[in-house]
Amino acid sequence: MTDDLLSQLKQMTTVVADTGDLEAIRRFSPQDATTNPSLLLQVAQREDRRARLAEIARQASDIDDALDAVAVEVGSEITGLVPGYVSTEVSARHSFDTDATIARARSLIERYDRHGVGPERILIKVAATWEGIRAASQLEREGIHANLTLLFSFTQARACADAGVTLVSPFVGRILDWHKARDPEADFSGDRDPGVQSVRRIYDYFKANGYQTIVMGASFRNSGEVLALAGCDRLTISPALLGELTAARGTLERRLTPGRAGNAAPPPQDEAEFRWALNEDAMATEKLAEGIRKFTEDQRKLEALLGELRRH
């Protein structure tokens, strides 16, 4: 009998759970797991978490302290369930502040250390702004591994690789959303999906130029997008889509294969080149700004929840 599609995918790609749901992680046995403010908010709203969250909130010195404590508590639990990386995000409010991002990342790593979790297990998630990429470059030099998120363009990906970051998370579904909103009658299925095309371009460029940065496709809208990227270094997938892939049968074709490295990579972009190229890409500019606002919105909701718990 043919194996389910998830089992086949795991033979060619490192599968990552895009969730803070511990039961889902136990069920699907991923290698890694990623979290973000939106996923942490979902975890915090569970009734079985209220008592522990209240305890954390009351012990914290302020709301920022409480937020990081919650993120590290959930992340530390996840490290007991996956053998690989756990991604924890720096506050989206610091997306344009290099120094603040570095300070917050160091603080998160120190918190993980107090939980007995070493830096080799953690990826600090940072928005792929110019300032975020500069922060990630410094953190990597300190031995703190970075996952550059909210990545919508080749320009962002290239700058991340030049900065020597451990991993990039190019988004797929949100790119598709942008194009569908502007051309709802177009056929974006399969290889026509602009998000899939974006990840393939990044993957091929990294492999051809000998970059060690891991490519992890993220933000999927359907299982077809996942299957179209089979063979990518990593794919971070929601529990709903992991469930679909577990239930599905068939033969999975590998779609991405690392080619032989060619010539040396071109010179890194400077800040002006990066900002101009990003500005020329309307989709990436809009989705990056929107993503930062969305994560900040969910962080504010989590702050309000923790603030209420601190008062009671």
Dihedral pair phi/psi, residue 237, rounded to 5°:
-130, 140
**DSSP structure class, residue 253:** P
The amino acid present at 222, given as its one-letter code, is N
119 and 145 Cβ atoms separated by less than 8 Å: yes
Measure the CA–CA gap between 303 and 307, rounded to whole angstroms: 6
Beta-bridge partners for 265: none
The amino acid present at 32, given as its one-letter code, is D
Q: How far is CA 17 from each of CA 172, 194, 215, 235, 238, rounded to the nearest angstrom?
A: 16, 23, 15, 8, 6
Measure the CA–CA gap between 215 and 79, rounded to whole angstroms: 21
The dihedral sign for the CA sequence 182, 149, 268, 285: positive
Polymer length in residues for the chain: 312
In the chain, the largest separation of any two C-alpha atoms, in whole Å, equals 62
Q: Where are the alpha helices (DSSP H) in 21-166?
A: 22-28, 37-44, 50-59, 63-79, 98-114, 130-141, 154-162
Nearest to 125 by CA among 245, 205, 16: 16
Q: Annotated catalytic, 125? A: yes
The tokens describing 103, both together, are 């300070």
Nearest to 78 by CA among 114, 34, 109, 123: 34
Q: Where are the alpha helices (DSSP H) in 115-143?
A: 130-141
| Catalytic residue chosen out of the listed positions 10, 125, 294, 301 | 125
Which residues participate in catalysis according to the annotation?
125
